Amino acid sequence: MRRLTRTVAAAALATALALVGGCSSDSDKSEGGSGGNGAASEKVTYLTSFGNFGRDSYAWVAKDKGFFKEAGFDVDIKPGQGTGSVIQTITGGQADFGPIDLTGGILQLGNGQAKDFVAVAAIQQRTMAAIVTVEGKNIATPKDLEGKKLADTPTSVVRNLFPTYARLAGIDNSKVTWVNGEAQGLIGMLGSGTVDGIGQFVVGQPTVEAVAKKKPVVLPYSNVMQDLYGNALITSSKIAKEKPEMVKKFTTALLKGLEYSLEHPDEAAEILKKNVPAVANTAASAAELQLMAAYVRSSNSGTAIGTLDSGRVAKSIALLQGAGALKQNLTPDQIINFDLAPKA
């Protein structure tokens, strides 16, 4: 058992510290050429939400299982670096689709930091944003973050939403220090003791524990901010307007990969490893998917994966406005294209 534990931890450390980029595989070769109807496949660039971890493996599954190819797409998957970066890359024309934290997107749009993008499907029905630390850091409650050093990418939703979380959780934001890190290096920073905590999704617990060799302590944002969605698939306003049917087909194929991954987490983890060799810890990847399932599936059993509710989005906007986090008034239709989103 000790040998297995050491093996998993070593593999996880390699995952966390490696530069996790998209790599070619047999599936890359098979997906080029023609689509499922014999026509030439449409080339699409897709960004993951945050590096290449188990939580983002569903895109690789959609590619490897041929879901994208059947829908007529030749997809190039690249690692994203958080909400702000994904938005910038898509609106700048360097990518076509990618998931962002929907609350982070609302903040970006409502504060004039980004424009010309729309969400077209939910990936998680509840936010997974959290501050993650480990035992021994004397952090058990949000208030304990005062006087501590946290790390995250500059454009991550966890970091950009923190002032709102701090206000609602009773934290003096001025007493918390943030330092920069890259998506694939954050867990290593926590494990080495460089920082006291990191911005992370709650599903990152298995990898954090394997790398740091300590039990994670998780402070979920959802404890103080309810009704917030998690990640949502976005595209540029231009693509949504000019290619609505293409957006629908891509969304359907991606969500098919998401559903398959939740039903077959071990296989999804192996597919991720095959396509991204630096992700060696399949156990942690599968565990992330198992934890994520509860966030993807709606509490209403009759609601399909991917749906977005205008009323809930309005509540999220109202919460952020009430906390003074938005400079501009927004409506749900300004950030979500409900004509393209899956129907409940």
| Confidence label for 298 from pLDDT (cuts 50, 70 and 90) | low
Residue 8 has a pLDDT of 38
SS3 of residue 112 by DSSP: coil
Both tokens of residue 186?
Answer: 């954050």
Any idea what DSSP says for residue 33? S
Residue 300 has a pLDDT of 53
d(CA 240, CA 90): 12
What is the mean pLDDT of the segment spanning 216-233? 92
Q: Kindly write down the DSSP assignment for every residue of 239-263, as one continuous string.
A: HHHH-HHHHHHHHHHHHHHHHHHHH
> Of 86, 97, 24, which is closest to residue 275 (Cα–Cα)?
24
CB-CB contact of 75 with 261 (8 Å): no
Per residue in 52-98, pLDDT (tens digit) is 889 999 999 999 999 999 999 999 999 998 899 999 999 999 999 99
Both tokens of residue 289?
Answer: 């998917």
Q: Kindly write down the DSSP assignment for every residue of 157-225, as one continuous string.
A: HHHHHHHHHHHHHT--GGG-EEEE--GGGHHHHHHHTSSSEEEEEGGGHHHHHHHHSS-EEEEEGGGTS
Q: Taking phi first (over 0 means left), then psi (-120 to 50 degrees means alpha), and beta for anything else, what does residue 22 get?
A: beta
Q: Which of 89-98, 118-127, 220-229, 262-271 has the lowest average pLDDT?
A: 220-229
| Confidence label for 16 from pLDDT (cuts 50, 70 and 90) | very low
- Can you say whether the dihedral through the CA atoms of 246, 249, 252, 254 is positive or negative? negative
Per residue in 160-211, pLDDT (tens digit) is 899 999 999 999 999 999 999 987 789 999 999 999 999 999 998 998 998 8
Domains and CATH numbers, the chain: 2-126+229-335 (3.40.190.10), 129-223 (3.40.190.10)
SS3 of residue 124 by DSSP: coil
Residue 36 has a pLDDT of 55
Residue 257 has a pLDDT of 98
- Say yes or no to pLDDT of 296 above 50: yes
Residue 50 has a pLDDT of 87
Residue 15 has a pLDDT of 43
